Amino acid sequence: MNAINGISKSTSAFFVQAAISFGVSFVGAVGGILFLPLDPWQRLFLAMTVLFLVASSFTLAKVIRDQQEAASIRVRLDEARMDKLISEHNPFTTG
C-alpha cells in the first residue's frame, strides 16, 4: 500500500498471473464442456453455469473494489476534517 495516497498498486507480475489463471480456468471449463461425453442439454447447462460464474466473479470483484475505494475516500475526508479542526483550534483564546 502506498503510504502517500493510500492506494494499493498491484504489480504487473500479479496482474499477469491473475490473467493467466483466469484464462487457463476458463479454457479448461470450456474444453470440458466441449469434449466430455454429454448430452446437448447438459452442455448448455454447464455453459450457462460458467457464463454466470464468470459474470458474477467480475461483479463481485467490482463491488469489493468500490467498497474499498469508498472506505478510503471516507477515511481521507475524515482526516481532512480533523486536520482542519486542529489547525483552526487555538487553545489560548477564550470562547
Q: Whole-prediction pTM value?
A: 0.62
**Cβ–Cβ < 8 Å for 67, 73:** no
Break the chain into its structural domains and give their ranges: 12-88
Distance CA 35, CA 29 (A): 10
Q: Per-residue pLDDT for the chain (95 aa), expressed as one digit of tens each?
A: 444 455 567 799 988 998 999 999 999 999 999 999 999 999 999 999 999 999 999 999 999 988 888 888 878 888 888 888 888 887 777 65
Distance CA 8, CA 32 (A): 36
